[in-house]
Structure 1
Amino acid sequence: MCHSSRAPTTVPRSSPEPCVTERTRHKQSVRKAFDRAAESYDSAAAVQREICHRLAALSSAQRPATPVRRVLDAGCGTGYGLHLLAGEYPDAELIALDFAPAMLARVTSAAEGHRAIVPLCADLEALPLASGAIDAIWSSLALQWCDPSLTLAELARVLRPGGIAWIATLGPRTLWELREAFATVDQAEHVIRFHPAEQWIEHARRAGFSLRSQDQRPAFALAADLRSLLRDIKAIGAHHVGEERRRQPLGRAAWRALEACYEAHRRDDGMFPATYDLILLALKKPETAND
C-alpha cells in the first residue's frame, strides 16, 4: 500500500505476511480496474455525481454537534465529493483517500484553492490513521468493494466520539437489468452482487455505530442505447471487477439476444436505464455508552 507522508494523522500499521488469497486477488482486481478508469471516469460518471449530491444533502441534515476540523473522504475517486466538502467545511483539513493511485493523482484540482487537501493512498480495511483522529467521514460508492465488517470497524476506530459517518453504498439490486439480460446469453456472473442494507446496518452496529438516518432509493444511469450504457459502466471501472479470467467478446447472436432482452427496460423517453440500488446511511459514533 502507498500512503502520503503529508498526512499528520497517519500512524505505522503492521503489514501481514504476503499471501495470495481470494481476498487479495479481489483487491488487486479493484485497484487495477479503477486505475485503468481514472482518465475516463469523469466523462461517464453522471450518476456518481448525482449520488454525491444526495449524500451531500444527507450530510447537511446530519451534521456533527461539535466543530469539524478534519474530514476523511473514504474512497475519493477523482475528487468530486471533495469539491462539495470544501464548500461545506472551508476551514477543515480534508483527507482524500483512495485505493487506486491513478484516481488519487487526479484529485489535486478537485477542490482548487482549498487550504488543506491531504492525499492518502490506502486500504479502507486497514486505515493508516490514528484512532479518534477524524471528526467526520464521507464515503460515496466505495464501501461496496470492501468487507463490511473490516471497513466499518476501521471507520469507527478513526472517528472521534460524537463524530458522524455519511455513507453511500450499493445494494443487491444494482444493475439488475444487466444481470437479467446476461442470463439469457450465458451462465456467467456478469454483475457483482452487493450486500443488502440490513447487513450494512448490522455490521455498523457491531462496529459501535448508532444509526442516525437510512434511505434506500435507486439512482439511474441512462444512455440512448445498450452499447453506450455498457461503455459508460466500463469507463467508471465498475465492470467485471473480481474476475479471474477475461471473457471472450459476445458473438453477434448473443449480442442480439442481449439487446432484445434489454429492450423491455427502455423508458418512455427512449433511454435505457441501469439501476443503482443506492443505500444512504448516517452513522454516529456515540460519545458515551448511552448515546
Structure 2
Amino acid sequence: MSDQAKHRARKKAVRTAFDRAAASYDRAAAVQRECCARLAALALAHPPQRPVARLLDAGCGTGHAINWLNRQFPQAQLLALDFSPAMLIRARQQHEGHVHPLCADLEHIALDGNTIDLLWSSLAVQWCPPHPVLGELARVLRPGGQACIATLGPRTLHELRTAFSTIDDASHVVDFEPPLVWREAATSAGLEVIASDNMDVLARASDLRSLLADIKAIGAQTVGPGRRRAPLGKAAWLRLQTAYESFRCADGSLPATYDLILLILRKPE
C-alpha cells in the first residue's frame, strides 16, 4: 500500500472513530478540556494584531471552545469545521444560532484563501501530515491573521505503548510528530511562530479498564494500518495490566500522558 493510500485509510478510520465517539465525547473529554484551556491561556498572552471579523474553529469536535471564542470575539462570524458529521451535528445542537457549521477535511478546507482573521484548532491537526495541513491553514488566513493550535507530540500515551510492547509488536498507539517538525512545517508554510510551548497533560483513572474506556470514548484509540485486529485474550490482558501497574502514581491513580504542543502562528502582512 502506498503512503498516500495508507494516509487515506487512516483518515477514514479516524473519521469513523470520531463519529462513533460523538455521543460519549463530552462525558470523557476532561483532558481535551484541559488542553483547550492551556491553549486559551497562551492565546490570551498573544492576542491578534488585527480585528477579528471571521473566526474558524478548525476541528471543532462537539464545540467545547465555541462559547469561549464567542465571548472573546462577540462580533466575529464563527465557522465551526469538522470532518466528522456526527461531531458537527453535536456542535450544532449545543450551539444553535452561534456557529456556521462546515463539514470538511483540514487538508482541504472549503473556503477561499485569505478569508480568516483568527484560526483556532485544538487537538485536530495531529491526524494530518504537518506540512500539508499547515499549508492549508496558512492559505485561508488573511495576511496578519493568527492561528492558535494545540496538537499532540510523540510521548502521547507512552505508558500504553510501553505496556503493550510486552504483548506483541502491533501498533497500539499513534506516532505523533515532535514540536520541531510542527515549527518547521509552520515556517515552510510561510507562518511566523509567535509563541510555542510543550507540556504533559495527564488523564487519570483508578484502573486500566476505565482508562482505556475513556481513551476510546473520545475517539483517540489507535486507527489505521498496523493496529491489532484481534481482541486481547485473558492472558494478554493480565500481562498488560501488570505492565501498566509500574506507572501507578502515589495517589493510587493510573495515568495516561498527553504530550501537548501549543503554537501561536501569524501570517505576515
TM score, norm. by length of structure 1 = 0.89
Q: CA deviation at 1:240?
A: 2.0
Indicate the larger mover: 270-279 or 63-72.
63-72
Partner residue in 2 for 1:256:
238
What is the DSSP-based 3-state SS (H/G/I as helix, E as strand, rest coil) of the residue aligned with 1:167? strand
Q: Letter of the 1:57 partner, please give it.
A: A
Per-residue CA distance 1:184-223 (angstroms, 9 max, x = gap): 0111110011000000000100000011001001101111
Q: Measure how far apart 1:112 and its partner are.
A: 5.2
Q: Which residue of 1 aligns with 2:127?
A: 145
Seen in structure 2, the aligned counterparts of structure 1 residues 37 and 64 have a Cα distance that, compared at 3 Å, is: same
Deviation at 1:243, TM superposition (A): 3.6
**1:132-211 alignment, distance < 5 Å:** 132-211=114-193
- Cα deviations across residues 123-143 of structure 1 (Å, max 9, x unaligned)? 110111111100000000000
Contact 1:80/1:110 (8 A) holds in 2: no
Provide the residue aligned with 2:53 in structure 1.
Answer: 69
Q: Which residue identity is paired with 2:217?
A: A
Task: State the match for 2:195 in structure 1.
Answer: 213
Q: Identity rate of aligned residues, in percent?
A: 59
Q: Does 1:84 align with 2:68?
A: yes
CA distance in 2, matches of 1:97, 1:90: 18
For structure 1, the residue ranges without an aligned partner over 5 or more in a row are: 1-19
Unaligned runs of 5+ in 2: none
Tell me the secondary structure at the aligned position of residue 165 of structure 1: strand
Q: Does 1:131 align with 2:129?
A: no
* Distance in 2 of aligned mates of 1:246 and 1:35: 20
- Shift, 1:110, TM fit: 3.7
Check conservation: 1:55, 1:280, Cα contact below 8 A: yes
Q: 1:109 to 1:89 in 2, by over 3 A?
A: farther
Matches within 5 A, 1:247-286: 247-286=229-268
Q: State whether residues 139 and 166 of structure 1, in contact with CA within 8 Å, keep that contact through their aligned partners in structure 2.
A: yes
Structure 1: how far apart are the matches of 2:244 and 2:205? Answer: 12
3-state SS of paired residue (2:193): strand
Cα deviation for residue 147 of structure 1 reads 1.4
* Alpha-carbon distance between aligned partners in 2 of 1:173 and 1:183, rounded to the nearest angstrom: 15
Could you tell me how far apart the structure 1 residues matched to 2:119 and 2:109 are? Answer: 13
The equivalences for 1:202-241 within 5 A come to 202-241=184-223
Q: Is the 8 A contact 1:153 1:207 kept in 2?
A: yes
CA RMSD of aligned residues (A): 1.3
